[in-house]
Amino acid sequence: MSRALWIFIILISVGLVGLSIFEAVRPNADVSGWVQVGIAALGVPILLRELNQIREAINRKPKINIGLANVNDLPLSKVRNAKALHTTKDISRGYPHFELVVRNNGSVTAKSIKIHFEFVSRAPKENSLAVPVLECVDWRKDDRFTFKKVNNADFVFIGGANWVLHANDSDMFPFHMTTTLGKKDGERERPDYGKYEFECTVWADGLDKPVQEKLIVNVVEKI
């Protein structure tokens, strides 16, 4: 609720109380009018308290933050206790695995969550044709709540009403990166060294607008 609307409601409420007092103190008012004044005066604190509770309930919303984690950040309890999420993470070329982390720092549960995670480009622009291929392990081995693969580097997660992210909680989604180019006979598929830029967008009930974050995965020799 905007500040202007909140002030308008307060002014209307005070105006109604003032009108009651005015009617009660008119020359032809009787004892019942003064009783009405007393009741109105006692009702002001109650009215203000109820209006304040309504305002607080309206303003309580989920607050979504997005980040990355690698094997050094595990277990999940370590990620939950971290003060801030990192939007750039190094991963080892020998084990090109990273976690997408979604955290709710708000005071209410986030419901009906949808997550779109996609590869944008090599960052910075590099002279390489190696496009990453991502695989997402079925989250918690439950096909109902996992990312659906649109193409090699474009995923959509739709939790629906049955999947929620509680207040002050985090969840992690594991991704494994390989590549379509540069593989020789008997060689494991590994991504090229360098930075890969991704974009993650999260929708949820109660958010004023979708939350969007640029994420960079940096493939190095070892971490």
Q: Are residues 43 and 113 in the same domain?
A: no
The pLDDT of residue 41 is 61
| 149-158 long-range contacts, CB within 8 A, separation 24+ | 152/119, 152/180, 153/118, 153/119, 154/117, 154/118, 154/119, 155/115, 155/116, 155/117, 155/118, 156/114, 156/115, 156/116, 156/117, 157/113, 157/114, 157/115, 157/116, 157/117, 158/113, 158/114
The answer to whether residue 97 scores a pLDDT higher than 80 is yes
Which tops the pLDDT comparison, 75 or 113?
A: 113
Q: Are residues 69 and 40 in the same domain?
A: no
The answer to whether residue 199 scores a pLDDT higher than 80 is yes
The pLDDT of residue 186 is 55
Q: Are residues 146 and 107 in the same domain?
A: yes
Q: Are residues 109 and 204 in the same domain?
A: yes
Q: Into how many domains does the chain fold?
A: 2
Cα end-to-end distance, the chain, whole Å: 47
The pLDDT of residue 198 is 93
Neighbour-count burial of 110, counting CB atoms closer than 10 A to its CB (0-12 exposed, 13-18 middle, 19+ buried): buried
The region of weakest confidence among 1-10, 64-73, 76-85, 87-96 is 1-10
Q: Are residues 94 and 178 in the same domain?
A: yes
What's the whole-model pTM score?
A: 0.71
For residue 80, what are the domain limits?
64-220
**Mean pLDDT of the 54-67 span:** 81
Could you give the strand order of the β-sheet that contains 169-179, starting from the edge strand earlier in sequence? 64-69, 97-104, 169-179, 132-136
pLDDT digits (tens, 9 = 90+) for 143-185: 666 778 887 778 888 877 778 899 989 988 888 888 766 555 5
Q: Are residues 83 and 163 in the same domain?
A: yes
Q: Are residues 26 and 70 in the same domain?
A: no
User: Which residue type does 185 have?
Assistant: D
Q: Are residues 94 and 115 in the same domain?
A: yes
